[in-house]
Amino acid sequence: MTATGQARRPLIVADSMTAGYELERERKLLTALEDVSLTVHEGEFLVLVGPSGCGKTTFVNVIAGLVKPWAGTVTFNGKPIDGPGEDRSMVFQDYAIMPWRTVEQNIQLPFELRPHDFSKADVAAKVQSIIEDVGLVGFEKSFPYELSGGMRQRVGLARAMVTQPKVLLADEPFGAVDAMTREVLQAQLEALVMNAGQTVVFITHSIDEAIALGDRIAVISNRPGKVREIVEVDMDRPRLAEGEITSHPRYGELREHLWNLVKDEALGAKDAHREDSEMSGESRLDRLATSPATTVDPRI
Amino acid sequence: MAQTVNPQKPGSEKNTDGAALTAQPRIQDANWTLARIWTRYRFVIVTVINLTIFFIIWQLVAHFELIGPHLIFPTFSDTFRALKIGWLGGQAGDGTSFELLRDFVIAKNAWESLQRYAISMFIAIGMGIPIGLAMGGFKWVDAILSPYVWTLSSIPRLAIYAPLVMIMGIGESIKYALIILTAIFPVIINTWAGVKTTEQSLINAAKVFGAGRGQIYKKVVLPYTLPFVVSGIQLSLSRGLIGVVIVEFLTGASTLGGLGWLIFRSASAFNSALTYASLMSLAVFALILVQGTRSIEAKVAPWRQVSKT
């Protein structure tokens, strides 16, 4: 985590990838990302910043294996991504934890869904240990509806980290969390990831969050999304363990540079709300539970 | 209400300990004011007063024959007597005008209806849930079945009675058929809706963590659908009750036709006390049923109860 990405092995490689999704009601295909080439190196913390609706979520969904690219390739460890895999896990914007499961049971879910060699006791120990790491001790038997938003996302984070995956994908995980909780969660995430040496692809709206967390920051331009520039964050870790990151000498420069990049895009975002409402999955009565998450078929 | 302690919040323990040492008298005081008793039991108190007034007015209206003669509108006391004889027996042989009102007549007919109702509901729910699941889960099943389901669920079930009689004649089987047809659709449609509306983000999460199609069903869709099924069953139970009464009225019987039959039969014999006694029995049963299933709903899916408020 300390290095800035020099001489690192490429882990996820997107090569002139185009992807999008279908607007079912209007029977239209919407290109979210066009001709994107981006490399995520092993062990790096890559943050994607861009205006809402620019296709960041689609990019992460492609890596997660939930969405298939329409054109171009995305490889993981040299192999094309074909569906989800145990080496990649994800934290969701709307938490996506099961309301009928307790905290413990939610965190245990990945072990139930994929075959593994751990004994019951081993699984329980792993679950307990990650519960301690994210600060959920005492809430093991609580149901999500009894928790605050921040607590719920801790469950989401714990569930994603409990299997120690190679890659952690995070889709605006702290977007709906209040500012104070967000800082705590950011610090916890940094500590967790530094410990495990994970590769992280992290989406955010917030430039401050991007600088606080990222080794590199990819600025995505407005729809259809393209990588506009990649900014290296040359600040040592841990950044969030103590003190104010905003007082770091590089902080102001980076922030200004990024803001200038994002500003034009944000101001130019006309139908920015579109992707958010389409992708959040809320109130989608017409979507089949069994259909692939993507429901994207470029041949239609 | 302000000092109610929420045991789930760890932070509040300290406050309570501190408060308990100093503020004990205040708590006791708050517990026993008239206002507190009122806020706690007002529903019971109001209901008791309400029903008492209702029965008094009923008695007066019937006694002075404001609606009609006793043959048409019985007094509450006559109705109560019919209830007692119909359920508990012990009738003095009161000859001609009460020919229908025999010992245990309500109990026997109610048992008849209950059996019919229970079997029909068992079949309706047992068939409705798998049909709803299949329709929600498989596009082609949905495509094939939905025209029939939506048509049959939309037309008044009573209209199907005529063609059903032509096919099945008037026997025991047509009663079951009509009750099942009345009751099955809320289960099917609710189950279907539960499957269809399962949150996509939950399914995505399950996929990311390795769920295949079968696991998505078992771990996400089914638990998500469960509360929908329960409220579908709830609807079906009250629909089925309507079905039982109607079917017993339509098919008729000479002696033991069920509670629905008894209501109509006693009315046509102008034994109004028995009619109202049977009706009250039915109402109480329906009430217990609805309230019972409501508490089941709360137990099955506590998270939905909370998010509703």
- Is residue B236 a contact partner of residue B126, using CB atoms and an 8 Å limit? no
Rounded Cα distance between A299 and A124, Å, is 46
Question: Touching check for B132 and chain A: CB below 8 Å?
Answer: no
- pLDDT of A246 strictly over 90: no
- CB-CB neighbours of A272 under 10 Å: 16
**pLDDT value at position B50?**
95
**pLDDT value at position B20?**
44
CB contact under 8 Å between B203 and A293, yes or no, is yes
More confident residue, A92 or A226: A92
Q: Please tell me which of the candidates B8, B136, B226 has its beta carbon nearest to residue A289.
A: B136
| Chain B residues touching A284 at Cβ < 8 A | 197, 200
More confident residue, A114 or B1: A114
**Beta pairing partners, A61:** none
CB contact under 8 Å between A98 and B200, yes or no, is no
CB contact under 8 Å between A143 and B302, yes or no, is yes
Rounded Cα distance between B253 and B255, Å, is 6
| Chain B residues touching A68 at Cβ < 8 A | none
| Chain A residues touching B215 at Cβ < 8 A | 113
Distance from CA of A255 to the nearest CA of B (A): 32
- Is residue A17 a contact partner of residue A33, using CB atoms and an 8 Å limit? yes
Q: Which residue of B has its CA nearest to A161?
A: B209
Question: Which tokens is A17 given?
Answer: 């990838």
**pLDDT value at position B255?**
79
| Chain B residues touching A109 at Cβ < 8 A | 206, 209, 219
Rounded Cα distance between A277 and A21, Å, is 13
Q: Residue A276's pLDDT band (boundaries 50, 70, 90)? A: very low
**pLDDT value at position A199?**
95
Domain B105-308 has CATH 1.25.40.10: no
Q: Which residue of A has its CA nearest to B139?
A: A288
- Is residue A161 a contact partner of residue A192, using CB atoms and an 8 Å limit? yes
| Chain A residues touching B302 at Cβ < 8 A | 143, 145
Q: Which residue of B has its CA nearest to A144?
A: B303
- CB-CB neighbours of B96 under 10 Å: 5
Question: Touching check for B38 and chain A: CB below 8 Å?
Answer: no
* Per-residue confidence in pLDDT tens, chain B, 309 aa: 344 444 444 444 444 444 444 445 545 555 667 888 888 888 999 999 999 999 999 999 999 999 888 888 999 999 999 999 889 887 655 544 446 888 888 999 999 999 999 999 999 999 999 999 999 999 999 999 999 999 999 998 888 888 988 988 888 889 999 999 999 999 999 999 999 999 999 999 999 999 999 999 999 999 999 999 998 999 999 999 999 999 998 887 777 889 999 999 999 988 899 999 999 999 999 999 988 888 887 788 777 755 443
- Is residue B260 a contact partner of residue B200, using CB atoms and an 8 Å limit? no
In a mutational test of the B interface, the residue from A290, A291, A295, A296 whose CB has the highest number of chain B CBs within 10 Å is A290
Q: Which residue of B has its CA nearest to A111?
A: B209
Where does residue A65 rank: exposed (0-12), middle (13-18), buried (19+ CB within 10 A)?
buried
Distance from CA of A172 to the nearest CA of B (A): 14
* Range ranked top by mean pLDDT from A54-58, A173-177, B24-28, B196-200: B196-200
SS3 string, chain B, reads CCCCCCCCCCCHHHHHHHHHHHCHHHHHHHHCCHHHHHHHHHHHHHHHHHHHHHHHHHHHHHHCCCCCCCCCCCCHHHHHHHHHHHHHCCCCCCCHHHCCCCCCHHHHHHHHHHHHHHHHHHHHHHHHHHHHHHHHHCHHHHHHHHHHHHHHHHCCHHHHHHHHHHHHCCCHHHHHHHHHHHHHHHHHHHHHHHHHHCCHHHHHHHHHCCCCHHHHHHHHHHHHHHHHHHHHHHHHHHHHHHHHHHHHHHHCCCCCCCHHHHHHHHHHCCCHHHHHHHHHHHHHHHHHHHHHHHHHHHHHCHHHHHHHC
For B67, residues 6+ apart whose C-beta sits below 8 A from its C-beta are B61, B73
- Portion of chain A with pLDDT greater than 70, in percent: 85
Residue B100 identity: L
Question: Touching check for B203 and chain A: CB below 8 Å?
Answer: yes
| Chain B residues touching A289 at Cβ < 8 A | 136-137, 195-196, 198, 203, 216, 220-221
Rounded Cα distance between B151 and B142, Å, is 14
Q: Which residue of A has its CA nearest to B308?
A: A145
In order of A144, B84, B148, B169, the CA distances from B259 in angstroms are: 46, 15, 31, 22
Question: Which tokens is B21 given?
Answer: 């040492």
| Chain A residues touching B214 at Cβ < 8 A | none
Question: Quick one: how far is CA A122 from the chain centroid?
Answer: 27
**What predicted TM-score, i.e. pTM, was given to this entire model?**
0.79
Q: Please name the residue that has the structure tokens 């006559």.
A: B78
Q: Which among A60, A35, A18 has a CA at the least distance from the CA of A293?
A: A60
Q: Residue A269's pLDDT band (boundaries 50, 70, 90)? A: low
**pLDDT value at position A293?**
36
Q: Which among B247, B243, B272 has a CA at the least distance from the CA of B261?
A: B247
Interface predicted TM-score of the whole assembly (ipTM), two decimals? 0.83
CB contact under 8 Å between A143 and B303, yes or no, is yes
Q: Residue A23's pLDDT band (boundaries 50, 70, 90)? A: confident
**pLDDT value at position B300?**
80
Instruction: Residue window 86-115, chain A: list those with CB within 8 Å of chain B.
Output: 86, 88-90, 92, 94, 96-100, 109-110, 112-114
Mean predicted confidence (pLDDT) in A32-57:
88
- pLDDT of A171 strictly over 80: yes
Omega of the bond leading into A224 within 30 degrees of 0 (cis): yes
- pLDDT of A287 strictly over 70: no
For A39, residues 6+ apart whose C-beta sits below 8 A from its C-beta are A10, A12, A13, A14
CB contact under 8 Å between A66 and B204, yes or no, is yes
Question: Touching check for A249 and chain B: CB below 8 Å?
Answer: no
**pLDDT value at position A69?**
92
Q: Please tell me which of the candidates B137, B207, B210 has its beta carbon nearest to residue A293.
A: B207
How many beta-carbon pairs under 8 angstroms link A with B? 97
Residue A293 identity: A
- Could you read off the pLDDT of A147-167 as tens digits, one per residue? 999 999 999 999 999 999 999
- Is residue A2 a contact partner of residue A234, using CB atoms and an 8 Å limit? no
- Could you read off the pLDDT of A186-237 as tens digits, one per residue? 999 999 998 888 999 999 988 999 999 999 999 988 767 888 889 999 888 8
Rounded Cα distance between B281 and B208, Å, is 54
SS3 string, chain A, reads CCCCCCCCCEEEEEEEEEEEEEECCCCEEEEEEEEEEEEEECCCEEEEECCCCCCHHHHHHHHHCCCCCCEEEEEECCEECCCCCCCEEEECCCCCCCCCCCHHHHHHHHHHHCCCCCCHHHHHHHHHHHHHHHCCCCCCCCCHHHCCHHHHHHHHHHHHHCCCCCEEEEECCCCCCCHHHHHHHHHHHHHHHHHHCCEEEEEECCHHHHHHHCCEEEEECCCCECEEEEEECCCCCCCCCCCCHHHCHHHHHHHHHHHHHHHHHHHHCCCCHHHHHHHCCCCCCCCCCCCCCCCCCCCC
- CB-CB neighbours of B153 under 10 Å: 14
**pLDDT value at position A161?**
94
Q: Which among A89, A10, A15, A84 has a CA at the least distance from the CA of A44?
A: A10
Distance from CA of A293 to the nearest CA of B (A): 6
| Chain B residues touching A146 at Cβ < 8 A | 8
For A150, residues 6+ apart whose C-beta sits below 8 A from its C-beta are A177, A178, A181, A182, A184, A185
CB contact under 8 Å between B302 and A145, yes or no, is yes
Would you identify the CATH topology of the domain A10-87+165-279? Answer: Rossmann fold (3.40.50)
